[in-house]
Structure 1
Amino acid sequence: MAKLLLAVTLIMATGSLQAEAPETSENSEAKQVVSVLQDGLIQAMRQGQKNGYSGRQQLLAPIIEQTHDLAFVVRSVLGSHWIKLDADQQQTITRVFQENSIATYADRFDQYDQEQFVIIDQTQLPRNRLLVRSQLTRLDDKPVNFDYVMDKSSGSWRIINILVDGVSDLALKRAEYGSILQKDGITALIDLLQNKTASIEQRHQ
């Protein structure tokens, strides 16, 4: 399960929490987005080695694109570096980040041992965002907490942040990517992401 705990690579700080959000049609839509992702992850885990990496990738790619605002995540990760890129660079880094995100999901959600996701509650966040709290229950270990930050600025609810047991992976990515951009520039970061994706694919050939 160590691989599973590292599966989410799209993390950003949530800000201070507010009161629990009342159940509304909009809140239900946000929760449904989380359910779509989690159902897809369980399906990928159930398929496990049967359909292989490519099968899990084909299954999860449209689900991740539907449920995540990856363009928002890229801009958040790069921060002030984003506006320094030209249009072609912005398009390329967004594409390779998306490819790496999908590859990482397909690589790590690869086996099933009776795990189940259970949505716990929803909490209102600043800037009209929602936090959907969920747990992954496991037969022989304690549950894993998954907290999804939802945003609707793109027109529909999308995941812009996932915290796994309170650990923010986005902070690590900001440090890692920022260091590369500062030292070697955007081409080096693009190469890094492409190499990570290629390494995942090679392991499954």
Structure 2
Amino acid sequence: MLVMISGLRAESLENEGAERVVITLQNTLIQAMQQGQEIGYSGRLKLLTPVIEQTHDLAAIIRSVLGTHWAKLDSDQQQAITRVFQANSIATYADRFNQYDGEQFKIIEQTQLPRGRMLVRSQLIRSDGSPVNFDYVMHEAGGSWRIINIVVDGVSDLALKRAEYSAVLQKDGVTALIDMLEQKTSRIEQNQQ
């Protein structure tokens, strides 16, 4: 009986860990929105960078997005694509979460998924009361839960990126994909000035 209870307690703590990661991200996004105009793009970038690096497994995300293409890259190409993907991901967050109008996040539920993954369902409640659904697919990496996919109102970010990046890779190769991501990040930075 004691073994069963301690097993349940450990599972409960694991679940709480996944939820805590999402709450950390969402609280920081709200903070970035609230301070958005005051601290500007560079301030939002500085605020969000360590939190996104801590809450997302960006290296696993880019490997998953590239699928079979990943194994065909040499280590320098893998490092380069990971670096520009990380920079673009963080820049995109800093760009999109830039002003506050009373929005609030709330956690809806957690669900255990196959292969030891966890789904944390949440909503962003807009100021008019309308919700945007954010579902976070998470896995454990390095002893902590990390986000590996975000599904917004039923649309998988991973699937969108996989389709877009695969088309560029097949047509023009990895150098073109790296250039595309660098250009996207540069455009975000230029639009913020």
The two structures have a TM-score, normalised by structure 2, of 0.92
**Equivalents in 2 of 1:168, 1:25: separation in Å?**
27
Per-residue deviation, residues 76-126 of structure 1 (Å, max 9, x unmatched): 000000000000000000000000000000001001011111111101100
1:106 corresponds to: 94
Q: Deviations over 1:48-81 (max 9, x none)?
A: 2111000000000000000000000000000000
2:116 aligns with: 128
2:65 is equivalent to residue 77 of structure 1: yes
Moved beyond 4 Å, runs of 4+ = none
Instruction: After superposing the two structures, state which structure 1 stretch, 171-180 or 192-201, moved more.
Output: 171-180
For 1:1-205, list aligned pairs within 5 A. 24-205=12-193
Measured against aligned partners, the alpha-carbon deviations of 1:20-63 in whole angstroms (never above 9, x if no partner) come to: xx970111111100010000000000012111000000000000
Code of the aligned partner of 1:126: P
- Percent identical across equivalent pairs? 72
Indicate if the aligned counterparts of 2:149 and 2:157 stay in contact, CA closer than 8 A.
no
Q: Distance in 1 between matches of 2:187 and 2:126?
A: 29
Deviations 1:142-183 (A, max 9, x none): 111111111014431101011111111221211111111111
SS of alignment partner, residue 51 of structure 1: helix
Query: Which protein has greater RCO, CA pairs closer than 8 Å, 6+ apart?
Result: 1
Runs (5+) with no aligned partner, structure 1: 1-21
TM-score, normalisation: structure 1: 0.87
Deviates more, 1:133-142 or 1:91-100: 133-142
Give the partner amino acid of 2:37: Q
Q: Which amino acid aligns with 2:40?
A: G
Q: Could you list the runs of 5+ residues in structure 2 that have no partner in the other structure?
A: 1-9
Counterpart code for 2:48? L
Greater shift in the superposed pair: 62-71 or 150-159: 150-159
**What CA RMSD, in Å, does the superposition of the two structures yield over aligned residues?**
1.2
Distance 1:42 1:23 in 2: 29
Higher Rg: 2
Number of residues of Structure 1 aligned to a counterpart in Structure 2: 184
- Letter of the 2:64 partner, please give it: S
- Structure number with the higher helix fraction is 2
Q: C-alpha displacement at 1:141, in angstroms?
A: 4.4
Measure, in 2, the Cα distance between the counterparts of 1:104 and 1:64: 11
